Each structure stands twice: as C-alpha cells, then as structure tokens.
Amino acid sequence: MQQDILINWSPQETRVAVVEYGAVQELHVERTLERGLVGNVYLGKVVRVLPGMQSAFIDIGLDRAAFLHVADLMSSINSRHADADNGGTSAAPLQPIEKQLFEGQSLMVQVLKDPIGTKGARLTAQISIAGRLLVFLPQDNHIGVSQKIPAAQREDLRKRLQTLTSDMGGGFILRTNGEDATDAELGEDIAYLRKTWARIKEAALRLPPTSVLHQDLSLLQRVLRDLVVETTQSIRIDSREQHEELKRFATEFMPATLQRLQLHSGERPIFDLFNIDEEIAKALGRRVDLKSGGYLIIDQTEALTTVDVNTGGFVGARNFDDTIFKTNLEASQAIARQLRLRNLGGIVIVDFIDMMQASHRDAVLAEFQKQLARDRIKTNVNGFSALGLLEMTRKRTRESLAHQLCEPCSACMGKGVVKTARSISYDILREILREARQFNPKEFRVIASPKVIELFLDEESQHLAGLSDFIGKPISLQSETAMAQEQYDIVLL
C-alpha cells in the first residue's frame, strides 16, 4: 500500500497526515508551546546538595532549579538496576549524595518529568536515548526486552539483540514495536542511536554548563525516524526553512529518506490537496458515515472506547442477513482506519450488528484483523464475547486526537447532553421552594437562559404563579443570553 506523508508547518504548530491512495490514515499534531522537556539532555550545574534529603538542585538553564535524587545518579546503575523484563530491583547500599556531588560541579542530566506549578523538573543522570525500535543505555551494558512483549518470545529476542550489539559498548532495550523488526531495521536504529550519543558527548565537552546537549526529536524529525516505511513515496512539506532542516537531519541520520523529501510550493495549501482539514473535523465527531448508507457511532470515555455499527439506510442486498454482513464488513475497514486516525488507545469495544451465521462472524473478524495488521501501533483482538461484542486493545502511545484538539464543553461539562429547558424550569421551582422555607425575602428573582425564561412565560406560567401564591412571595424573571441552558441563579431581594 503506497503512502504519502504531508507536513503542514507553522511557527505555532506542526501537522502531519499519512495518506494512502487519497485517504488519510493517520494524523499527528504538535504545538510549539506544548512541547515538553522530557528526554532532553543538559549539561547541568550543581547549585545545592541536600544530604538530609539525599538530593540536589541542578541548574539546567530554566527559571527554577531542577531536582535530582541520589537513586537517579549514574553511579547507582550497577547497585540498583531495574530489569526491563520483570521490573525487579536488586537493592544494594547507595553512596551518599554528598560524597558524589559538590556545588559548582558540572553534570550531564536528562529530564524525567516536566516542571509543574512551583516544582522544578525531575532529573536523572542515567541517560537513555529512545529510537524507533530500541532504547540505548550508553552508561550501562544491559540487554533487555520490553515486558509488554510475550514472555515466550523475550529470550529469543534478547539473544538476537545481544548478537547484533556484541561488539559495541552500552546497553539496549528492545521496545514493543521492535518485536517484528528485521536485523536491517534494528541495525539502522542502532546506528542512529550511537551517532546521537556521540554528538551529545561532543557537545558536553564544547558547551558551557546549563546548555542543552540534546533535545528529544520534534514531530518533523520523528516523521523520518518513525513514520517512513518502504512504501512511502514522498514526504512533502510546505515550509522552505523546515525542508532544509529536514534535509540536514536526513543527510546525517536517515540518508535513505533524503530522496523522498519534497518542498510543496503550489498555490493551494498542502492540506487542501487531500481535504485534510475536513478529515480532521470528521475525526472529532461521533458519527462516521459509511459509503453503503450505514454508519458508526464512536464514543470515547476515560476507561474505554465504544464503537456501535448501524445499517442506517443500507438496503441494497438481497436479504437482511446479507445487508448486515456487508455493513459489518465495510464497518471493519472503517473502524480500523478510525482507530489510527483518532489515535484511540486502550480498551476498544465494537458492537457489530448481530450476525446469525458463524461464517459471517468469522469473515468479519478476519477482515478486521487484516485491516488492523496495517496499524503501526500494537493491537490485540480477543474476538467476540458471549454477548456478541468484539473486544480488543490498542496500545496508548500519545493523547488521542480529540484530547489534543478539544476540551470538555462548558455547557454540558463533557456529558455530551444537557437537561431540557423544562427539566431546568422544574429544578428552579424546587430550588425556590427550598429557599422560601429557609429565608424570608421580599421577592425571588430567577435569572436563566432565554429558553427557560420563555417556558416560564408560556407553558409553565401556571406552575410559576401557583408556587408564588403558595409561598406568598412574588417571583420575577430575567433572561440572560450569556447563560447556558443548565445555568441559572435565584436572587433573594
């Protein structure tokens, strides 16, 4: 399946679309102000050592000094090593921090956690550099395999990695998405990681303390490292300056991608060529229409994502069973694409339309697994449950598109629905009755949205007048256009 990668760059935001035969398969967004510091390597300067807390404050050029605990010092690697396979640790006494660090000392450190509020960044002196398939541990000799890879495969993968890196210094951990990588792909990643470490060491000798030695790759650079595959025909970008930057990066680290880099210089914006903005808008909606007339309803919650398949207006097949089968087949293709497009991770429950024939269920499951096989993110399909629901998981790698671009609605507070105007009017009547039992104002004034006030003046006017007579107080109304339907105030005058 041939693909093109389109990059729309602006000073505030980078957007990347992966397109296959005219259809958008993946969307990636990175905003300049939201880029964190995690993964960045600095030449820090020790400004204070705290023996009582066994920690130190390190100046890395930010507004606030960063924090380093003794357990995250490089010298503790051999005495406190966390095995990537089983998460276990072998405890051994650590040398006190005051015997390892002194004020004014230069120290290479890496950011573990971004600064939050009044707290500075959290640091480690145990440097690790992430590649597409591997993590490089330049100060260690450990060869590990991600715990998320099935245990039965781990030992073979570890031996294979040891063979590939036997004549090199440093350690490596195979990431989950490197499970099926070829030796050639692993070799490319190893070469990239070792070259990156060489540049970091060279910068540490050349630059003064508090300097940045290495920044985690930007989205533009990760396109070349993570998204380019054998079937990628072109990588088109609409910024001349960034095109030159990418060429320099590709020349040094990813020479195989260089010939595919292209500068888009047409009059039409690059995302207009494939209606990318329209696809983004669709990917933020609940409903996805299918060509046959059926549709999907996608709901994302904190715990899981649900996908409901509906036939809609599709009546083209000879009988109802065929209609359901063809709708589910088309839906399986669309769902796999939507998972990639929206970057939905975690547990996913798909409610296909009930199929009476086992052969139909098997065919839909096979088609769904075939479409998921194209996903660069690891997926696991458990098949149909006793209730006829298809259960699967997709690894979380970053925020979903909706979480990146949207926030909860201020009117419904993320519920997706609001109470009707009549429900709100009855809430107001009950609230006035409660207030009247506790207080004795001259008058109650209701301030609410125009739709609620209109209801009080018309259909609910009798109930309002009856309550006013019952409590013996006048009730006045005030319409406030700025108020959402569920908002109201009851003022005691």
CB 103 within 8 A of CB 111: no
Q: Tell me, what's the pLDDT at 140? A: 87
**DSSP H or E segment with residue 48:** strand 41-50
What is 286-405's CATH topology? Aminopeptidase (3.40.630)
Q: Tell me, what's the pLDDT at 82? A: 39
Q: Would you kindly state where each structural domain of the chain is located, as residue ranges?
A: 3-35+219-276, 41-214, 286-405, 421-492
What is 41-214's CATH topology? OB fold (Dihydrolipoamide Acetyltransferase, E2P) (2.40.50)
pTM over 0.85: no
Model confidence pLDDT, tens digit, residues 345-375: 889 999 999 988 889 999 999 999 999 988 8
Q: Tell me, what's the pLDDT at 315? A: 56
Domains 3-35+219-276 and 286-405 in one fold: no
The token duo for 464 is: 């309002």
Q: Tell me, what's the pLDDT at 94? A: 72
**Centroid of chain to Cα 172:** 25
Q: Tell me, what's the pLDDT at 228? A: 87
Tokens 């039992």 belong to residue: 437
Tell me which residue of 237, 200, 332, 250 sits closest to 14, measured CA to CA. Answer: 237
The token duo for 315 is: 């009546």
Q: Tell me, what's the pLDDT at 320? A: 77
- Tell me the CATH number for domain 3-35+219-276: 3.30.420.60
Gap between the Cα atoms of 47 and 58, Å rounded: 6
Residues of the chain with pLDDT under 50: 76-91, 317
CB 119 within 8 A of CB 161: no
The token duo for 343 is: 């970057």
Q: Tell me, what's the pLDDT at 78? A: 42
**Centroid of chain to Cα 418:** 28
75 CB-near residues (< 8 Å, 6+ apart): 95, 100
- Tell me the CATH number for domain 421-492: 3.40.1260.20
Q: Tell me, what's the pLDDT at 318? A: 62
Q: Tell me, what's the pLDDT at 85? A: 43
Give phi and psi for 293, each to the nearest 5: 110, -15
HSE-up (13 A, CA, CB side) for residue 346: 12
